[in-house]
Structures are given as structure tokens and as C-alpha cells.
């Protein structure tokens, strides 16, 4: 798929300057394909995953086509969730940095209606909203769509999955028929195609999903474990991988709440995100995650659709998603903005067949790994300590502790013994959060266990001996909870 320089497009110097400040060096595949058609006024239906730059793909041409001399609504963008509305609005505002006289406003449920009414009275040229709240403003006559030139449906498939079809159709029927209509979707179910035929004019079809799915920037791994071992496994992986900003997906809201409690007890700065939370709570959590004061964010799939943070180092599939497509949505939250990322998936029993189906469907390769042992965690930490110690010595910021070492050496202890003892104290404190009773070596592949059950005699015994020997020495000790 071709990539272009933004300077190749017929866009203003003000927009180009904003794009440069946002750190975009070249257009992504979806941007390269969509922007020229949209600048020409064509309708498009684009299939692209999250994290591919699709917001800018329609926001840039939309901004370029706005008549800034008119204080009237010209661009309407519909999104499935409040989080995505906020994200898209922020993207528009960044692109509008050097444009005077153009404003973008967000309308969504959970926010004070009076605030939104005041914003709408200022007649913004761009509105980004959820279908429900947009309908609410239409009913109140606080929003009129008769001047809209461009209507965009972002994540159209998710809006349909959430039951917004009637709202979408009602909204589009209130928009002038000569508008430009843009549909963006991660998948292309029949309902999307029906909407396309009804509300678009000879749309250009663009599909860049393969470019995103096969991206080598996301390393993917899976672990076969027991359900009850997931909290321990997650904690070990976070520490072993030295994750500073991670996103954990669970299939239920109750699982999110449970996991957040467990992680906080273990000393992690963790928060949850799901549909039962108020908008104020959700915004507070997301702001903390963007700033880095929240290290680990646990979320459901619906709540996670609006998460757009470029520095997410890893995504954890605490539960294998119920819908195969959600796997792609999830892992797309890492490896963004040209950065690399990692995706880790926990598999219980027969779920291995679901993962293999995802691999086959989307052309992925997810590698099997074992949960790190405490010895492996210690080795990782020792390497980190080595770097810290060298830095402290080079900066000569350890001199005030030299007296204590000299005093201990007076008791016939060597400097080597003292340093090793101090390291042991520190390492023991690091390990207090882990449960040594968790024996991950006892979890073998579901397909391997099936093989053992169906074999008899020496073959079964030889296989079991071989497996046991390969995991020898991985039994662990009891530990208390970790304090960071």
C-alpha cells in the first residue's frame, strides 16, 4: 500500500504546520488512500483498524473544505462512545491550531446538557457526537443539520452493534441530500453495506486492514494457564516486561472491578474503565492514564474503543475476546504512532482453538510462551539494578552512605558481602508481591493434554517424563503482597 508525504496533498500551510507539530512524518495507508478522494468531494467507505490514523484521514479534508467565513454547522461526525467523541474532538482541535474562526464541539451523554447548549449557541462549524445525544439535541431544536456539508460515521460497525441504527438513519435523513458522506469501519457486515447503498453516492471503497493487521511492530504472545492463576501471571508479566503503561482487556465489567482491586492490593497504580462508570469518573481515569499516573488500565471492549494513547507499551488480553474481531481492536491500542508494541493473551483450556481461528482468519502469528519464574524476574531486576548502580557511582551521589559501609567493614565484612546483602534485601522486597504456590509448569497445552489422554503405555509415560523434566525447578515459595 502506498504512502505519501502530506505536502503532496492540496492542503493549506496552516494544516500542514499543525500536522508537523503532531509528529506525523508521512501519511499512513488510510490517509494516503482517502484524503485525495475526500478533497475531491467523493463519498468513501473505508475499512481500517484503530491506530491507523483514520481520524486524521477524514478530519484533514473536512477542515480544508470548511468555509470559515460562515458561522454555521458544516461537518458532523458520529462516534459510538463518549471516549471516542472526546478523542476525535481533540484530534480536530490539534489540526485546527493555526486556523482562526473554525471551532469544533463535542456532544455526548453524561456531560451537563447546559454546557453543550451554550457551546451550540456559539455556532461551531464542526460537531462530533454520539448518536443518542445528537438525537437529543435535534429533539430540543438546539441542533439543526440543514447546513451540513460533510457527514462522517466513525466506527460505523460498532455503532450498529450498539443498536444505534435507527438513530443514525434519523440523523442522516435530517442532513441535506447533497452532502458528502464518509463511513469508516473496522469490519464490513451486511448492515454497513445496506447503509452505504441508502445514504452514499457511488462511494469509493478503501480497505487497508491487511496493512495494519500484518504490522510487524506488534509482537504477539499467548500463555496457557488456569483461570485462577491469571492475576499472578499478569503481575509477573508486568514486572518482567517492565511495563510502565499497559492496557488490560476483560470481557465483563465485574471482572474489570475485581482485577483493579487485585492489582491495587499488589501495589500497582491501576484503574478500571467500563460502562457503569459516570462520565466524570471515566474522564478522570483517562486523564490519569494519559499522564502516566495510572500505570495499568483495565477495560471492557466497549469502553476501550475510545482509548487513544500513543505510549501504550503492551495490551493484555486477560480474557480471550468473545468476538474474534475484538482481538484486532484490542491489540491495535499498542504499537501506535510509529512505536513498537506487545500483545499478551491468556488462554484457558479449549480457548486455544479460538486463538488458532483468529490467527488463521487474520493471518497473524501469536507465539506461545511460559509465564516467567521468580528466578527469571530476579535476573531481569539484577540487570536493572546494575544500570542504576553504575549511574549512581558515575554521578557520585552515593558518598553519604560510604561511612556505613566502612563501619560494617570494621566487623570484618568485605565490601562485596555488604553490597550483595543490600541487593538481597532489595530483591526480597521486590518479590513480596508474588505467590510461589502458583505453579505455571503444571499447565500444558490443551492439545498436548488431549494427546496424552489418547495415548497409552510407554508413549504416555515417556511424554509425561519429558514434560516434567522440562519444567523441573520451577516450583515456587509463598510471598506476601508487593509494595512498590
DSSP-derived secondary structure for 403-462: HHHHHHHTTT--HHHHHHHHHHHHHHHHGGG--TT--GGG---HHHHHHHHH--HHHHHH
Nearest Cα neighbor of 48 from 182, 150, 194 is 182
Cα 102 from Cα 142, distance rounded (Å): 19
Per-domain residue ranges of the chain: 6-212, 214-368, 374-433
| Cα–Cα dist 319/346, whole Å | 6
Cβ 225 vs Cβ 348: under 8 Å = yes
Sheet of strand 270-273: strand arrangement: 270-273, 296-299, 246-249, 314-317, 341-347, 218-224, 367-368
Q: How far apart are CA 220 and CA 273, in angstroms?
A: 24
Q: In the structure grid, which three cell numbers stand for residue 133, read together? A: 445525544
| Per-residue model confidence (pLDDT) at position 477 | 35
Alpha carbon distance 174, 183 (integer Å): 17
Cell 448518536, residue located: 131
**Domain 214-368, architecture per CATH:** 3-Layer(aba) Sandwich (3.40)
Cα–Cα distance, 130 to 388 (Å, whole number): 48
pLDDT at 272: 94
C-alpha cell recorded at residue 334:
499498542
The predicted model scores a pTM of 0.55
Q: Going residue by residue through the chain, which has 484 residues, state the pLDDT in tens, using 9 for 90 and above.
A: 455 789 889 899 999 999 988 877 678 888 999 999 999 999 999 987 666 778 999 999 999 999 989 999 999 999 999 888 998 999 999 999 999 989 999 999 888 889 999 999 999 999 999 999 999 999 999 999 999 999 999 999 989 988 999 999 999 999 999 999 999 988 888 888 888 899 999 999 999 876 544 444 799 999 999 999 999 999 999 999 989 999 999 999 999 999 999 999 998 999 999 888 888 888 899 999 989 999 999 999 877 766 778 789 999 999 998 878 789 889 988 887 667 899 999 999 989 999 998 998 888 999 999 999 888 887 877 777 677 777 777 776 676 667 676 766 766 677 777 677 776 766 666 555 556 666 665 554 444 444 333 333 333 334 334 333 433 333 333 334 343 3
How far is residue 160's CA from residue 240's CA, in Å, rounded to a whole number? 40
CB 229 within 8 A of CB 19: no
Q: Cα 468 from chain centroid?
A: 37
Angstrom distance (rounded) from CA 68 to CA 147: 13
Give residue for cell 442532513.
Answer: 175
Which three cell numbers mark 168?
Answer: 443514525
pLDDT of res. 386: 73
Per the CB < 8 A criterion, the answer to whether 160 and 21 are in contact is no
Spatial separation of the C-alpha atoms in residues 467 and 465, rounded to whole Å: 5
Cell numbers for 324: 474474534
The CA distance from 289 to 87, in Å, is 14
What per-residue confidence (pLDDT) applies to 15?
Answer: 95
Identify the pLDDT of residue 211: 54
Length of the chain counted residue by residue: 484
Task: Tell me which CATH code domain 6-212 carries.
Answer: 3.40.50.300
What is each CA distance from 5 to 13, 25, 36, 92, 468, in whole angstroms? Answer: 14, 7, 12, 20, 56
The Cα 374–Cα 23 span in angstroms is 40
- pLDDT given at position 169: 95
Angstrom distance (rounded) from CA 84 to CA 50: 11
- Please indicate whether the domains covering 6-212 and 214-368 agree at the CATH topology level: yes
Taking phi over 0 as left and psi of -120 to 50 as alpha, with beta for the rest, 457 belongs to: left
Looking at residue 4, what is its pLDDT?
Answer: 76
Looking at residue 213, its pLDDT comes to 45
Q: What confidence score (pLDDT) does residue 474 get? A: 38
Amino acid at each position: 500500500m502506498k504512502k505519501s508525504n502530506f505536502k503532496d496533498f492540496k492542503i493549506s500551510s496552516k494544516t500542514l504546520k499543525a500536522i508537523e507539530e503532531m509528529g506525523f512524518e508521512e501519511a499512513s495507508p488510510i490517509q494516503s488512500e482517502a484524503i485525495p478522494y475526500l478533497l475531491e468531494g467523493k463519498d468513501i467507505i473505508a475499512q481500517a483498524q484503530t491506530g491507523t490514523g483514520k481520524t486524521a484521514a477524514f478530519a484533514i479534508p473536512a477542515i480544508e473544505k470548511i468555509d470559515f467565513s460562515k458561522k454555521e454547522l458544516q461537518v458532523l461526525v458520529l462516534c459510538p462512545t463518549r471516549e471516542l467523541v472526546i478523542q476525535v474532538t481533540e484530534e480536530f482541535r490539534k489540526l485546527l491550531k493555526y486556523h482562526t474562526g473554525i471551532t469544533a464541539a463535542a456532544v455526548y451523554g453524561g456531560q451537563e446538557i447546559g454546557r453543550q447548549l451554550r457551546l451550540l449557541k456559539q455556532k461551531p462549524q464542526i460537531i462530533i457526537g454520539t448518536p443518542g445525544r445528537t438525537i437529543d439535541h435535534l429533539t430540543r431544536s438546539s441542533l439543526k443539520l440543514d447546513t451540513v456539508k460533510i457527514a462522517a460515521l466513525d466506527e460505523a460497525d460498532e455503532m450498529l452493534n450498539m443498536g444505534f441504527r435507527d438513530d443514525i438513519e434519523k440523523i442522516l435523513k435530517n442532513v441535506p441530500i447533497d452532502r458528502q458522506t464518509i463511513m469508516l469501519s473496522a469490519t464490513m457486515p451486511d448492515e454497513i453495506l445496506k447503509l452505504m447503498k441508502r445514504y452514499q453516492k457511488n462511494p469509493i471503497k478503501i480497505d487497508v486492514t491487511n496493512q495494519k493487521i500484518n504490522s510487524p511492530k506488534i509482537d504477539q504472545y499467548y500463555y496457557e494457564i488456569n483461570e485462577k492463576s491469571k492475576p499472578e501471571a499478569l503481575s509477573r508479566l508486568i514486572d518482567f516486561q517492565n511495563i510502565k503503561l499497559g492496557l488490560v482487556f476483560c470481557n465483563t465489567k465485574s471482572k474489570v472491578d475485581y482485577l483493579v482491586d487485585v492489582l491495587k492490593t499488589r501495589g500497582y497504580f491501576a484503574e478500571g474503565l467500563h460502562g457503569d462508570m459516570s462520565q466524570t469518573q471515566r474522564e478522570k481515569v483517562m486523564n490519569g492514564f494519559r499522564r502516566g499516573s495510572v500505570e495499568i488500565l483495565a477495560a471492557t471492549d466497549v469502553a476501550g474503543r475510545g482509548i487513544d494513547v500513543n505510549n501504550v507499551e503492551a495490551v493484555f488480553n486477560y480474557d480471550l475476546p468473545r468476538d474474534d474481531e475484538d482481538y484486532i481492536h484490542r491489540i491495535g491500542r499498542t504499537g501506535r504512532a510509529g512505536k513498537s508494541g506487545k500483545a499478551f493473551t491468556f488462554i484457558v483450556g479449549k480457548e486455544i482453538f479460538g486463538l488458532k481461528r483468529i490467527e488463521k482468519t487474520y493471518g497473524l502469528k501469536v507465539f506461545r510462551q511460559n509465564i516467567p519464574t521468580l528466578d527469571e524476574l530476579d535476573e531481569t531486576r539484577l540487570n536493572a539494578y546494575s544500570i542504576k548502580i553504575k549511574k549512581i557511582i558515575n554521578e557520585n551521589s552515593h558518598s553519604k552512605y560510604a561511612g556505613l559501609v566502612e563501619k560494617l567493614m570494621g566487623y570484618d565484612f568485605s565490601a562485596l558481602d555488604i553490597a550483595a546483602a543490600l541487593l538481597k534485601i532489595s530483591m526480597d522486597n521486590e518479590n513480596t508481591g508474588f505467590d510461589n504456590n502458583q505453579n505455571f509448569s503444571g499447565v500444558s497445552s490443551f492439545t498436548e493434554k488431549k494427546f496424552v489422554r489418547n495415548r497409552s503405555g510407554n508413549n504416555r509415560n515417556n511424554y509425561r517424563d519429558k514434560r516434567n523434566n522440562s519444567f523441573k525447578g520451577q516450583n515456587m515459595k509463598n510471598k506476601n503482597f508487593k509494595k512498590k
